[in-house]
Structure 1
Amino acid sequence: MTRNALCGVAVASLLLAGCSTQTANGESTLTELPTSTVRMPRHVDQSDRPQVIFDPCLDIPDSTLTAAGYDPTSEKNADFKGGSYTFLGCSYDSFHRPEGFYYGMNVLSGNISFAEEQEKKKDHSTPIDINGRRGLLIFDSTVTDYCELSVETSYGVLGFTRSIFSDHAGPAPVSEWCTGLEDTARTYEPLIPKGD
């Protein structure tokens, strides 16, 4: 059997790690086939937008969540599977804070463009920098105990939506609504693939 035929059988089976080649003197060697390190997204929409290559549910280690003050055991799915765009996401609760409140946060990785996000949030956003990436801090004083942040990625945006839940009656002070959210985004940003 020729070298090409041997490799063809191995590729066709997709079960072998490589294929055998035979040199002119009759010795056999093993040639490694390339393996893909890219994971298919859990959801793919019907658009021509880029695939969402960072999945908060799979790509944020428990140690990073804990370092940012969030409880990994509180994870819940928060995906949005649209026909024209996709958001892969998970929600997390922070550890209870001594001040008598905790945060509930969604981390959403989507394939809408950063320009679309800017346009959508233009009335309530401020441009910021997150570890060298463009970002938006989104604050609307009419939405009580709530703040958002978006970071530009190669495939679209990574968004954070955060609510404050208090042990006390009434809302938290307005000054607290966005406190620490930029630090959280800076903690997670290094995990985003550097494809841009």
Structure 2
Amino acid sequence: MRQVFYVVLSTAVMGSLLSACANSPTSGTEEQSSTTPAPTLAAPVSSPPVQINNGGRRTVQYDPCTSLTDSVIVEIDFDPRTRRRGDSIFDTYSFLGCTFDRKEEVRGAMRATSTLDIDSSNITLDEFRDRESGKYTEISVGGRNAIRYENTAARSCHVIIESPDGTLSIAKSVNAAFTTERACDGIDTISAKLEASLPTS
């Protein structure tokens, strides 16, 4: 479950931010686009919402819901057909998010036994450290700084990885009515697979 992240802004906030795009002169031939085509998904999703980011935070560029391939989701034992957006856009910060379920047969019916929320945000790792003070363990994921903590009341396990946007948040929750699995079971493997999909800069 995603939690609202309350951020206290500095009073020295710039009144407006201008983004200028300089047009470089073209040569006689038209430049070819180097954009990587989006992967084909079993459950296509809509485009991410417009971000606001008042106060100068960078725009979140990495969108896990369109960047993570179905094969990666299968490798971490979740169902790519359950892919759905889970964005959270606020005035001063943004989360581009995606949610997946793991489904298993329970008492003759397919049930969601666990859920995975993946969010790319412009919240820094230090801000997460402040919010979860005294609850987390410092770890490293793929050479990146990260923290891990568990919310036993919500039956969820969280890994927050430093990223070019700010952080990649991974939250796995379990449905105790349908599984005896613990929230943190497999979280290190899941985090390593998802970290490998992050851009380097």
Q: Corresponding residue for 1:185?
A: 191
Measured against aligned partners, the alpha-carbon deviations of 1:97-125 in whole angstroms (never above 9, x if no partner) come to 78x97211110110011111111112211
Asked if 1:43 corresponds to 2:50, the answer is: yes
TM-score by length of 2: 0.71
- Please identify runs of 4+ aligned residues in structure 1 that moved more than 6 A: 38-41
Task: Map residues 2-13 of structure 1 onto 2, 5 A cutoff.
Answer: none
What does residue 6 of structure 1 align with? Answer: none
Unaligned runs of 5+ in 1: 1-10, 12-17, 21-30
Name the Cα RMSD after superposition: 2.9
Counterpart position of 1:56: 64
Instruction: Tell me the percent identity.
Output: 23
Partners of 1:101 and 1:49 in 2: how far apart? 36
Paired residue for 2:127, among 116, 127, 131? 116
> What displacement does 1:157 show?
0.5
CA contact (8 A) 1:101 1:167 kept: no
User: 1:74: which partner in 2?
Assistant: 82
Match of 2:95 in 1: 87
Instruction: Write 1 or 2 for the structure with the bigger share of helix.
Output: 1
Runs (5+) with no aligned partner, structure 2: 1-22, 39-46
Name the SS of the counterpart of 2:175 in structure 1: strand
Larger radius of gyration: 1
